[in-house]
Structure 1
């Protein structure tokens, strides 16, 4: 130490202490916890630069290499990818009560969503409150009397579009879910080229990139960056600008609804029920939180439906023999969007098949790996219909989830007539008797 100033010695001691503490912490961590096989990565940043966007094909390739589960290090978090129906059911289904929170994303949630987007809120009173409000408005009775007619009308319009403009089927596929969800949320139908809806869908697409892209906004991957002083947070101006633009778009739609309400021309819808409940003090929500709820419903009900319908048509075209041998609609096994699920965060330590997971570990389902799993499906890469038997992977998942939460893919259909009952019985869908 000869020749070093007291300040230099102090800095050296601090650096050595940090290194020793880090090594000891890592040793204790490895002794207490054991994660699935990890993809090799870089120090500190892990696999951040190695995961493409979108990551569907990459995730499938990693699943073939590492098996039912593998660990990916993004930023400061370990993410466990679940690659088979069995492990998805065991962890995200049967243990849902402790796999129900969400990771902290400073820009996506705190700034770009003002801390109000249910998709990203942790398992808190705020999350439970929003969920309760949605269930109170979008429950079965409300859907039967108010919202199902919207869907039946748009389904007829979709078939009309197919018959009269078959070469534009992809635009009809977009208009159908857009119009259904706009009717449910704001009480108005959507037309092709709807300018206001286009703005909404563009902001949804921009938010998806912000949420899922590993390199779009690094603060989501390294949450500790949020501790920097605000002037040093280089991502903050973008997040604040995104929030202003998003709120303005949805506020304009609410203003149009209020105008129709004043003229007694508004139809029953989610937004009208939410505004009425808030005025009666039934719901305690800030204005920003209301707009974020509308945004989340649009995100959940529009683009994913369009993609699923288009994939179904593509599957029927790729596998015409399936449509010739079945009179009822088919359930085709294809990767469902998005290619990766929104990560679920463990709220306590857990153990599973030799692995020991610490609280705070993230889990996500690997959609491409699930759909193309050769152990679950014979000739998984081909477009075929799924044999609905008790031993099929989907029915096993439905059976397991039914005893805990709700079927992952299953639905119940109310029987309208004996002929209707016979039709849906051919695809093994559970029915309930009509009143």
Structure 2
């Protein structure tokens, strides 16, 4: 019996710790060094070196300075993690070599236990990515956005303003309600309830159940076999049961509502309604699962990120009344006091445009972005990056890089007053905030 146990443990150690090192050595015949990082510990590698608990981006930024490299490498059992801590390196790798760096990692927690394998955001190329992307892109073409989506936004903004006048202390709830109302109308043709809307509550519960996909956040991502452990052993297994149920309901409930309204002839124009009525869009057959997935990814992701951005904007205006007063003067000069601004006024409001860019830069909505995954071995500045490496772009560090943005902790819209292109002025934060590469 003891011999069997020893043999099994030896096999596990060989598979998890020894075999990856040998495979890496054979793929790297020139003996190039991996990017710098903390020295791995016996058996656990760098698992204990990965920062957790919030503000991970700051810890990676400090380590990047400590090791004098834009790239940081962490070796955990059976896999590699790379963080990119400068815009130049992210552009060189994720943009210029997008054919290598545009896949997504396996994510046993999110895709397996939480049931998010359907999500376009974290879907691998071999999981139907192309078909899902084509349907979503079709629904957000410029002509469709202008004719169908912008009127929805202009209709919801006055409701937000009325709510802010009545109960200003609840501004976060009002912002969440407005962004959710826009997303639900655009995606499902559904007008949310003024208070306690079940679909918005469901989306919020789902987002709460999903922890951030940052390095070291989920032990099961490093030891996938733990997903088969009994639920009583690990809290993450019990949490996943609840999260998976909520995710399933989020995909199915609003989709079923649209189908029922289409059958009754009461459906309003929407992305999902249009896809249900069309058998083929851009050569892709619109089966029900495909449409459910596309609707759910817009429903779950859009409202949450928009709410965070708007909340950061409100915080900035509270903390910087001089900026707020200057923006109000520009609005008064261009729009006046007899109407609300609309999309046609945008070109005449340059200072407000600068405020929007600074709000995106000042507080990163997704500090480490969505993880990428290398599809092949690569070499960058003499450093070896193995195939199968999970790659995080430290977007928050890039947006606070003092060599790019002077006094990065200061909220200063004027930094963008003279253009947002490297050849003319400062780097546009949108080139960082919305991610890198093909995705």
TM-score, length basis structure 1: 0.77
1:36-435 pair list within 5 angstroms: 36-49=35-48, 50-54=50-54, 55-66=56-67, 67-113=69-115, 115-124=117-126, 126-190=128-192, 191-209=194-212, 211-212=213-214, 214-215=216-217, 217-223=218-224, 239=240, 242-278=243-279, 283-284=284-285, 287-325=288-326, 327=330, 328-329=351-352, 330=355, 331-332=357-358, 333-385=361-413, 386-387=415-416, 388-389=418-419, 390-391=421-422, 392-395=425-428
Aligned CA distance change for structure 1 residues 137 and 397 (closer, same or farther; 3 Å)? closer
TM-superposition CA deviations, 1:130-171 (whole Å, max 9, x none): 111111222222222222211121223223333444333222
Aligned length: 394
- Identify which range, 108-117 or 96-105, moves more after superposition: 108-117
TM-superposition CA deviations, 1:94-125 (whole Å, max 9, x none): 22222110111234214533632222221237
**Aligned-residue RMSD, C-alpha:** 3.8
Unaligned runs of 5+ in 2: 331-350
Aligned CA distance change for structure 1 residues 20 and 107 (closer, same or farther; 3 Å)? closer
Alpha-carbon distance, 1:290 to partner: 3.5
Contact 1:53 1:214 in 2 (8 A): no
- Secondary structure class of the residue paired with 1:124: helix
Aligned CA distance change for structure 1 residues 46 and 189 (closer, same or farther; 3 Å)? farther
Alpha-carbon distance, 1:371 to partner: 2.1
How far apart, in 1, do the equivalents of 2:94 and 2:207 lie?
Answer: 26
How far apart, in 2, do the equivalents of 1:225 and 1:158 lie?
Answer: 46
Aligned CA distance change for structure 1 residues 321 and 186 (closer, same or farther; 3 Å)? same
Aligned CA distance change for structure 1 residues 281 and 322 (closer, same or farther; 3 Å)? closer
- Secondary structure class of the residue paired with 2:128: helix
Alpha-carbon distance, 1:306 to partner: 0.7
- Identify which range, 30-39 or 185-194, moves more after superposition: 30-39
Contact 2:46 2:75 in 1 (8 A): yes
Contact 1:104 1:223 in 2 (8 A): no
Alpha-carbon distance, 1:238 to partner: 5.8
Contact 2:61 2:397 in 1 (8 A): yes
- Identify which range, 128-137 or 53-62, moves more after superposition: 53-62
How far apart, in 1, do the equivalents of 2:238 and 2:286 lie?
Answer: 26
How far apart, in 2, do the equivalents of 1:213 and 1:87 lie?
Answer: 19
Aligned CA distance change for structure 1 residues 338 and 192 (closer, same or farther; 3 Å)? farther
- Secondary structure class of the residue paired with 2:362: coil
Aligned CA distance change for structure 1 residues 85 and 26 (closer, same or farther; 3 Å)? closer
How far apart, in 2, do the equivalents of 1:41 and 1:197 lie?
Answer: 44
Alpha-carbon distance, 1:250 to partner: 3.4
Contact 2:278 2:286 in 1 (8 A): no
